Structure 1
């Protein structure tokens, strides 16, 4: 059973990101403040929730959350500042995009940087422990999937609709055959033999 929040008093948000290990596309982060008595038996870490249920939960979270924020950090920025910094930047931007300032931030994972002097707590596998982080993981994942489905139409040969930019054999084979796109992260190991690819 997931806990509603860590702090029993004050306004707490959960924050998480999706797309950290991908070869293409942005990192998308989300931040969510849930009502104190929010409960939903479907809600869990987005990685173990079925796609159909994730889409149901997205609607519920957006309708019932006290506040939520979404942010995108695109591949060129990821290449400049590295994926860890991009993930943290994304979470900071998602918190900024909420209409309410939290008193406390619950972060999925083990790394974060102080945001506006707001106390925070990093929780490893927090999306399977706290509802507000799980809600953020659902929003981050569903928004990112939608984005990858959209750019799939532009570059269907990479099958991003299916692999969402992750390093599948099919995705790497397409990079080897067609080269890279404007959405690929050039600082990542795109091919096992580290071929130098030109845009």
Structure 2
């Protein structure tokens, strides 16, 4: 998990930002990205791809990351914007927002990104499955995941019929059946429903 970071630290680069996003494949709600700069040389035991961790462990590591990080930024792009500019561009926008927040505290010298590019002049490397190969990216994935999961619990209070707190907006059987029964909410991604569920435009 530290091969990329150690190489950069050895080159004298102290402020390495890991960047990742969550919610790309959801039918509902925002896509959320995080950027995390950890102190050079720091190892946080247990950090891994957020999808491999239990909710309890993610929350524990989230707190450890917040306590240790040099800087953290979070960006989010809503469903309406996702429908307008497409999910790939929305994810990139959320990453750019997260990076801009980090830059308000410290200027990263290098970016490690999970399989994506960020609109920035800073040197960067896109790493396939980066959240499983880089501690910095994995830390960003945890921050983004915990942040979005908490948002889902709030959304569930407004739209309890969809079960968002349980499936987090993904296309589970429960979620698809709820959309069929109640129709889409204002926070559903219309472009996703049309492609994945073949929902007719008149339902929106």
TM-score band by shorter chain is over 0.9
Corresponding position of 2:72: 68
Taking structure 1 as the reference length, what is the TM-score of the superposition?
A: 0.94
1:125 and 2:126 correspond: no
Structure 2 residue 145 is matched with structure 1 residue 144 = no
Question: For 1:105 and 1:4, how far apart are their aligned partners in 2?
Answer: 11
Q: 2:112 aligns with which of 96, 101, 106?
A: 106
Tell me if 1:7 matches 2:8: yes
Q: Equivalents in 2 of 1:186, 1:80: separation in Å? A: 10
Distance 1:148 1:92 in 2: 22
Question: How many residue pairs were aligned?
Answer: 197
Structure 1 unmatched ranges of 5 or more: none
Across the aligned residues of Structure 1 and Structure 2, the Cα RMSD in angstroms comes to: 1.4
What secondary structure is seen at the aligned counterpart in 2 of 1:89?
Answer: helix
Runs of 4+ in 1 over 2 A off after TM superposition: 1-4, 189-199
Give the TM-score of the pair, scaled to structure 2: 0.92
**Pair 1:188-2:189 in alignment:** no
- Aligned pairs (5 A) from 1:23-38: 23-38=27-42
Unpaired stretches in structure 2, ≥5 consecutive residues: none
Work out whether residues 95 and 118 of structure 2, in 8 Å CA contact, stay in contact via their aligned partners in 1.
Answer: no
Per the alignment, residue 91 of structure 1 pairs with: 95
Question: Which of 52, 58, 80 matches 2:56?
Answer: 52
